[in-house]
Amino acid sequence: MPYDPSKPLQDRITDIGPKNYEEFLPPVIKKNFGKWDYHEILEPGVLVHVAEGGDKVFTVRVGGARLMSISHIREIMEIADKHCGGFLRFTTRNNIEFMVDDQSKVEPLKKDLLSRKQPGGGFKFPIGGTGAGITNIVHTQGWLHCHTPATDASGVVKAVMDDLFDEFTSMRMPAHVRISLACCLNMCGAVHCSDIAILGYHRKPPMIDAEVIDKVCEIPLAIAACPTAAIKPAKIKKPDGTEAQAVAVNNDRCMFCGNCYTMCPAMPLADAEGDGIVIMVGGKVSNRISAPKFSKVVVAFLPNNVPRWPETTDCIRKIVEVYAGDARKYERLGEWAERIGWEKFFEKTGLEFTHHLIDDFRDPAYYTWRQTSQFKFTG
């Protein structure tokens, strides 16, 4: 019996949660669950895990665009049916993994994956993303689905991954490099804790839509949404001459975070020239050697130069090249920058150090200034 809109609560099933993952485990995974002995990366994109009893599972990892059609998913399924007994998985960075239980099945799978191209010549299933390379970019909705972005997500990611493609399919970095993107500073995803982070940012205060603000906003929420207390209650004159309760924005205190717009539809701030990209570097989440680190702002603004964001791809390429050439084995980008000192990071990368990069947000800002005479002279 189908859904009956006249009796919406009839036959309603709720609170059943996700499917049990055990239904979806390939037989070799199910059999050796919790009994893995060791693993090896046989080549970029290809892993083998060996179980205590000697069973092996070979994994071929391929890049995913994250945004994908059901036609593409059906093609993934076709591959999984043909080579992997109808099982597959996705990674926490939105790559796709195909698993087989015998080495002889790896080459045919790889050949099949690499033979599949898009009309523009791109790979549908590029193999890579393992070891000390550059894997998929964790990213957000951008202009495709969100109302608060300051940049696109899918377009920027495509541009950057095209530029860094050779690093996806190789393992020549000192350590793995995690790049992520968020289209506004809500930072959905991993921008605050990535080796390199691309962040959409505004540079103009919100406009106030006097005609509707008193109807569509809960004013106290908009006021409470501001981290710098730049918003206060104020009367506003509507276009029809009447007065309404609204807010006033102190432009000198506004740093364009956009959180008031999140709370109040009458305070839009997106702007073609004002909006663009901030680059952050040096974050990590693993506890390996050093503790997890936040990423730090190193480029305060790059323009939204559609459709390929050349300033952004050039900047990231430059950071990656200098890091790859200078850092020690196992050293994450943030560990390298801290070891050589941030002044050396700017010297080596040639990035300009501007006043925007000096923290000025509340008490903790002080701890980011330099309370020591230890520093290096740079040219």
Partner 1 sequence: MKHKTPLLDQLESGPWPSFVSDIKREAESRTKNAKGVDYQIPVDVCDDILGVLELTYVHKRTHWKHGGIVGVFGYGGGVIGRYCDQPEMFPGVAHFHTMRVNQPGGKYYSTEYLEKICDLWERRGSGITNMHGSTGDIILLGTHTPQLEEIFYELTHDIGQDLGGSGSNLRTPSDCLGKSRCEYACYDTQALCFDLTNEYQDYLHRPAFPYKFKFKFDGCPNCCVASIARADMSFIGTWKDDIRIDQKAVAAYVGGEIKPNAGAHSGRDWGAFDIQKEVIGLCPTGCMAWDGKKLTIDNPECTRCMHCINVMPRALKIGKETGISILVGAKAPILDGAQMGSLLIPFISAEPPYTEIKELIEKIWDYWMEEGKNRERLGELIKRKGFQKLLEATELEPVAQMVKEPRTNPYIFWKEDEVEGGFTRDIQEYRKYHLR
Binding to partner 1, residues 269-288 (CB under 8 A): 270-273, 275, 283, 285-288
Kindly state whether residue 101 participates in binding partner 1, applying the rule CB under 8 A: no
Q: Which of 54, 241, 242, 362 binds partner 1 (CB under 8 A)?
A: 362
Nearer to partner 1, 242 or 371 (CB): 371
DSSP annotation of 183 reads S
Shortest distance, CB of residue 377 to partner 1, whole angstroms?
28
Q: How many CB atoms lie within 10 A of CB 230?
A: 21
Q: Which of 6, 21, 242, 252 binds partner 1 (CB under 8 A)?
A: 21
Cis upstream peptide for 307 (omega within 30°): yes
* Residue 188 exposed, middle or buried by CB count within 10 Å (0-12, 13-18, 19+): middle
DSSP annotation of 333 reads H
Q: Which of 61, 83, 110, 158 binds partner 1 (CB under 8 A)?
A: 158
Instruction: In whole angstroms, give the CA distance from residue 98 to residue 85.
Output: 10
Mask for 123-142, x = binds partner 1 (CB under 8 A):
xxxx---xxxx----x-x--
Kindly state whether residue 229 participates in binding partner 1, applying the rule CB under 8 A: no
Nearer to partner 1, 297 or 347 (CB): 297
Q: Which of 60, 106, 107, 121 binds partner 1 (CB under 8 A)?
A: 121
Site for partner 1 in 168-197 (CB under 8 A): 168, 170-174, 176, 185-193
* Residue 346 exposed, middle or buried by CB count within 10 Å (0-12, 13-18, 19+): middle
Site for partner 1 in 33-92 (CB under 8 A): 33-34, 36-44, 49, 57, 59, 63-74, 76-77, 80-81, 86-92
Helix (H, G, I), strand (E, B) or coil at 200: strand
The count of residues interacting with partner 1 (CB under 8 A) is 139
Nearer to partner 1, 168 or 336 (CB): 168
Q: Which of 234, 248, 306, 358 binds partner 1 (CB under 8 A)?
A: 306
Mask for 326-355, x = binds partner 1 (CB under 8 A):
---xx-------------------------
Shortest distance, CB of residue 276 to partner 1, whole angstroms?
9
Helix (H, G, I), strand (E, B) or coil at 223: helix
Instruction: In whole angstroms, give the CA distance from residue 267 to residue 206.
Output: 5
Q: Which amino acid is at 288?
A: R
Kindly state whether residue 320 participates in binding partner 1, applying the rule CB under 8 A: no
Q: Which of 145, 215, 356, 376 binds partner 1 (CB under 8 A)?
A: 145
Q: Which span (100-108, 304-312, 314-322, 338-346) binds partner 1, by CB under 8 A?
A: 304-312
Shortest distance, CB of residue 154 to partner 1, whole angstroms?
5
- How far from the centroid of its chain's Cα atoms is residue 5's Cα? 39
Instruction: In whole angstroms, give the CA distance from residue 309 to residue 302.
Output: 9
| Tokens 């998913």 found at | 73
Kindly state whether residue 311 participates in binding partner 1, applying the rule CB under 8 A: no
Q: Which amino acid is at 7?
A: K
Which of 188, 214, 337 has its CA nearest to residue 266? 214
Laid out side by side, the sheet with 46-51 consists of: 36-43, 46-51, 56-62, 96-100
